[in-house]
Amino acid sequence: MAILKLRKYGDPILRKKAEEIKVIDEEIKNLASDMLATVKSIGGIGLAGNQVGVAKRIFVIDRTHIDGEEEPIILINPELVEFSGNQVIEEGCLSAPGIYEDVTRAQKVRVRALNLEGKKVEIEGERLLSRALLHEIDHLNGVLFIDHLSTIKRKLLGKKLRKISTGG
């Protein structure tokens, strides 16, 4: 297992729509375990392919920080199939360190995907898990949580964001 290098705000790969994974081979399985090791090493909640420089549709979520569940979520080619309700909840992102803002998200979601064995799975998430699932799906579509903020809020963050994108 390896700890992967995190891509930060300003890196174009974060704005790329990640590609569907056609074959779940050893490379993908190794990537998943490296991503999990990486997110755990920083105490983060989730990590999407783009964030470690691989624009493929895969993300991992360390559930221990969400509901104490030890078994991580590793989803391939995830699709949002149902969402309901609203919640305003604070978010952060490993690719935008130091920035935490309230974001409006669906309160409950259902996501369809493949697991590492290539089996179809469906995961339901509420509150924190809903937020995490939506945040990671966004990443795979090149969307960052700050995109959900108002123009004024984003402007106020301009200096911080510039600092991150220039490696400061």
- Active site amino acids: 136
Task: Between 25 and 60, name the residue whose CB sits nearer to Ni ion.
Answer: 60
Q: Is 75 in the site for Ni ion (CB under 5 A)?
A: no
Residue 151 Cα distances to 98, 106, 146, 158, angstroms: 19, 21, 10, 10
Q: Which residues are within 8 A (CB) of 24 and not within 5 positions of it... i.e. 6 or more apart?
A: 76, 114, 116, 117, 118
Q: Is 140 in the site for Ni ion (CB under 5 A)?
A: no
Per CB under 5 A, the list member of 21, 93, 106, 134 interacting with Ni ion is 93
- Segment lying near Ni ion (by CB under 5 A), choices 16-24, 53-61, 85-93, 102-110: 85-93
DSSP state, residue 144? -
Q: Give me the least distance between CB of 85 and Ni ion, in Å please.
A: 22
Q: In the chain, how long is the greatest CA-to-CA distance? A: 45
Q: Give me the least distance between CB of 25 and Ni ion, in Å please.
A: 26
Binding site for Ni ion (CB under 5 A): 93
